[in-house]
């Protein structure tokens, strides 16, 4: 630790929002109560799962179904949303230790900002960077239009956003220092971002954890952000000991380390190029693979 109590190595934390920081999906709360309704929203979710329509196309219909002024949606939000009980303690820990904390989401930035302001207070919420799609919302609520970050079927390439975050962190870090990137999520839609992290946290019992188990992807399970805080404290200690040449290796995602070493397809390690598994190919060339779609139609589709 440095003299002011912050970590000696730059750490950047990215977290999913819906189902991770909050236990419910903010968009679903709005659509079910003030927009297209639960039945239509569930039908649209099925179209995403089946591949009939893209996430971006369906999301535009869902957000377009809202016909209420922006401020009117937050009474129902306060009633129906539950924040993870350990989140505020973890976020304050991040501030204290100098850990940058970012929300990364396929949702709309104005909605996420308002929810954080409401539940945390504007001062604390202002310390959280939100990496999400923007929106144009008419004052009378007659139109809610997403402004997508990227020209993809998902609208927001979370993997690209984290790579940009890593590059910025490396630029801000001390010379020769490699920043530590942490990602926290819950659903399969978090995989593009998860593969870019050095340390991956997956909420227990949900699809991201199941996928990690099925595909032997290194991760740390958590029930609440109190667990994340405890594990990050241990990781900081392990990382410092590793830097000093003592103690056991820190629990980093070897796939992310491989990603960081590869600057081009020609630089793919020979052992991977010779007999690559499907999983290695997914992590090396994600653009060549469609997003994983769960077979069970009831499974989670949170973004």
Residues marked active site are found at 16, 18
Cβ contact 135:62 at 8 Å:
no
Residue 269 and residue 118: Cα distance in Å, rounded?
A: 48
């Amino acid at each position: 630790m440095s003299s002011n109590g912050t970590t000696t190595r730059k750490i950047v934390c990215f977290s999913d929002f819906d189902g991770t920081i909050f236990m419910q999906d903010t968009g679903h709360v709005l659509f079910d109560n003030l927009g297209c309704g639960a039945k239509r929203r569930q039908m649209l979710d099925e179209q995403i799962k089946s591949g009939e329509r893209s996430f971006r196309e369906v999301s535009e219909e869902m957000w377009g179904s809202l016909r209420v002024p922006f401020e009117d949606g937050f009474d129902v939000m306060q009633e129906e949303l539950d924040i993870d009980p350990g989140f505020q303690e973890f976020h304050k820990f991040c501030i204290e230790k100098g850990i940058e904390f970012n929300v990364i989401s396929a949702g709309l930035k104005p909605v996420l900002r308002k929810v954080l302001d409401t539940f945390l207070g504007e001062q604390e919420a202002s310390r959280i960077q939100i990496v999400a799609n923007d929106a144009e919302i008419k004052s009378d609520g007659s139109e809610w239009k997403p402004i997508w970050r990227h020209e993809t079927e998902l609208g927001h390439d979370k993997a690209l956003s984290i790579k940009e975050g890593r590059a910025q962190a490396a630029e801000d870090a001390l010379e020769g220092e490699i920043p530590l990137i942490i990602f926290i999520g819950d659903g399969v839609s978090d995989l593009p971002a998860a593969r870019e992290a050095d340390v991956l946290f997956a909420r227990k019992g949900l699809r991201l954890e199941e996928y990690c188990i099925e595909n032997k992807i290194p991760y740390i399970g958590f029930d609440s952000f109190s667990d994340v805080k405890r594990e990050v404290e241990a990781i900081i200690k392990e990382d410092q000991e590793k830097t000093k040449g003592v103690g056991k290796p820190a629990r980093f995602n070897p796939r992310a380390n491989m990603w960081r070493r590869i600057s081009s397809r020609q630089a793919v390690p020979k052992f991977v190029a010779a007999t690559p598994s499907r999983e290695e190919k997914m992590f090396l060339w994600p653009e060549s693979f469609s997003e994983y779609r769960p077979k069970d139609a009831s499974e989670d589709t949170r973004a």
